[in-house]
């Protein structure tokens, strides 16, 4: 479990990694309310980063801002060193939104939605190529939906729709995967499936940035956790769960305060735990 962390830190020292996302003093206000209050963050290639925090802490806003979907009210963001407006290599980014939009009730098959993930690799006047079709077939197989390819997405369960969204991103063969709450409202089987898919991607050297309220089975994959509280980064380093007994495989992560809605994944972490992990990072 600590192996990927060590590996990654080693890589960061020896190889000058490319920065996939960078935010410098990022501020965002929506309707006069400050959602992000001066966030500094850099995501290097090959990292597996989880943005954690309670509901309303600004997690989703942060990653949508990193993608250039929301304008900043202060500071700057960069995608592979370019401002979002000047960025051209969008095929390098695979965005997985929280929910599948049902498109006003117009039916669309699983294959149609997944095929649309190829859009940033296609040119306007050229027909769908054999490479496009092969990538879509691979993506469907990867998420275990090959047999549902011809079904309308509206007929799928929430967990299956989540897999369609992941397959759409996979089909584009991006370098970075950005997932917004991939574990929210998804059944345990689909969560494990997601963990397996992500593990494969990470092994292939892909960068993963995800937002989560609860990590669940994704926990062992994460190499770095960024914790937001009221629009500020309050922790940035290895995931604190990996301390002591929590790191043991098969450890059941029980939150003593789970029944309280809105209790973040982090509220159980002591400052000491976060501090000790931060020290470990400095080594």
What is the binding site for another protein (CB under 8 A)? 64, 67-69, 87-88, 90-91, 93, 95, 97, 101, 103-109, 112-113, 116-117, 119-120, 122, 124-125, 150-152, 168, 172, 178
Nearer to another protein, 74 or 152 (CB): 152
Q: Which is nearer to another protein, 120 or 276 (CB)?
A: 120
Shorter beta-carbon distance to another protein: residue 29 or 276:
29
Of the candidates 89, 73, 70, 9, which has an alpha carbon nearest to the alpha carbon of residue 44?
A: 9
Using CA atoms, how far apart are residues 22 and 269, in angstroms rounded to an integer? 27
Least spacing, CB of residue 19 vs another protein, in Å:
18
Q: Report, in Å, the least distance between residue 239 CB and another protein.
A: 26
Beta carbon of residue 211, minimum distance to another protein (angstroms, whole number): 14
Minimum separation from the CB atom of position 107 to another protein (A): 5
Backbone dihedral angles phi then psi of residue 39, each to the nearest 5 degrees: -105, 130
- Measured from the CB atom, the residue of 154 and 276 that comes closer to another protein is 154
In the bound state with another protein, the residue whose beta carbon lies nearer, of 105 and 261, is: 105
Q: How far is the CB of 94 from another protein (least distance, A)?
A: 8
| Least distance CB 95 / another protein (angstroms) | 4
Q: Which is nearer to another protein, 90 or 138 (CB)?
A: 90
DSSP letter string, the chain: --HHHHHHHHHHHHS-PPEEEEEEEEEEEETTEEEEEEEEEEEETT-EEEEE--TTSSHHHHHHHHTTSS--SEEEEEETTB-TTT---GGGEEEE-SS---GGG---BHHHHHHGGGGGGS-TTSPPPHHHHHHHHHHHHHTT-GGGTTSBGGGS-HHHHHHHHHHHHHHT--SEEEEESTTTT--HHHHHHHHHHHHHHHHTT-EEEEEES--GGGGGG-SEEEEEETTEEEEEES-GGGSGGGGSTT-----TTTTSTT--TTTT--HHHHHHHHHHHH-
Name the residue nearer to another protein (CB basis): 119 or 278.
119
Nearest approach in angstroms of CB 59 to another protein is 16
């Amino acid at each position: 479990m600590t192996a990927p962390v060590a590996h990654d830190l080693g890589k960061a020292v020896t190889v000058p990694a490319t920065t996939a996302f960078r935010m410098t003093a990022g501020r965002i206000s929506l309707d006069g309310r400050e959602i992000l209050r001066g966030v500094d963050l850099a995501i290097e290639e090959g990292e597996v980063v989880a943005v954690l925090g309670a509901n309303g802490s600004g997690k989703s806003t942060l990653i949508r801002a990193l993608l250039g979907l929301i304008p900043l009210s202060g500071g700057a963001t960069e995608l592979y060193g370019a401002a979002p407006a000047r960025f051209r290599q969008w095929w390098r980014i695979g965005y997985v939104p929280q929910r599948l939009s049902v498109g006003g009730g117009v039916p669309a098959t699983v294959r149609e939605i997944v095929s649309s993930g190829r859009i940033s690799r296609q040119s306007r006047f050229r027909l769908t190529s054999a490479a496009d079709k092969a990538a879509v077939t691979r993506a469907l197989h990867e998420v275990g939906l090959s047999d549902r390819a011809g079904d309308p997405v509206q007929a799928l369960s929430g967990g299956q729709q989540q897999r369609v969204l992941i397959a759409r991103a996979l089909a584009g063969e991006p370098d970075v995967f950005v997932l917004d709450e991939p574990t929210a409202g998804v059944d345990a089987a689909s969560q494990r499936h997601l963990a397996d898919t992500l593990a494969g991607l990470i092994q292939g050297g892909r960068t993963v940035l995800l937002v989560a309220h609860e990590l669940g089975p994704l926990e062992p994959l994460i190499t770095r956790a960024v914790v937001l509280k009221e629009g500020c980064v309050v922790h940035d380093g290895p995931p604190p769960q990996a301390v002591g007994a929590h790191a043991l495989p098969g450890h059941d992560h029980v939150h003593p305060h789970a029944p309280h809605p809105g209790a973040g994944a982090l509220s159980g972490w002591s400052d000491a735990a976060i501090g000790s992990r931060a020290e470990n990072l400095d080594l």
